[in-house]
Amino acid sequence: MDRVGDFGGANPTAAGFVVTTTENVPGYEVLDTHGEVFGLTVRSRNLASDIGAGFKSILGGELKGLTKALAASREEALTRMVEQAKGLGANGVVMMRFDVSDARDLGTEVCAYGTAVTVRKLA
């Protein structure tokens, strides 16, 4: 899986699979729509990390441990969404979005969702 450092992930999809936040994919034609797909992960909080983040929040600045954890969660949710789409026979996801929320004060929930489609590259 290609990565862009510890603080952001590249699209973990394989060659030939398209994920986009737009409705249409430039240079492709949508042949079929398979429906909504999503990938979900919930990460528990780390007590030591929370204590460090508490001190850091007093001084100001980026909470790098939390940033890394959120980037990893987004990548995991995206990968799960892609696997679900592949299971439906799709080779792409359009209108992809992320939703992040607090999971009952126990952790962070990250959901990647979109519409699974079959696309064909235009000649």
Kindly report, residue by residue over 105-117, the tens digit of the pLDDT: 778 899 999 999 9
45 DSSP 8-state letter: P
Domains (ranges, CATH) in the chain? 18-121 (3.30.110.70)
Given a cut of 70, is residue 38 above it in pLDDT?
Answer: yes
Residue bearing the bigger pLDDT, 61 or 70: 70
Number of C-alpha atoms within 13 angstroms, CB side, residue 85? 32
pLDDT for res 1: 42
Q: What is the pTM of this model?
A: 0.79
Q: Report how far residue 78's alpha carbon sits from residue 75's, in angstroms, rounded to the nearest whole number.
A: 5
Q: Report how far residue 20's alpha carbon sits from residue 2's, in angstroms, rounded to the nearest whole number.
A: 17
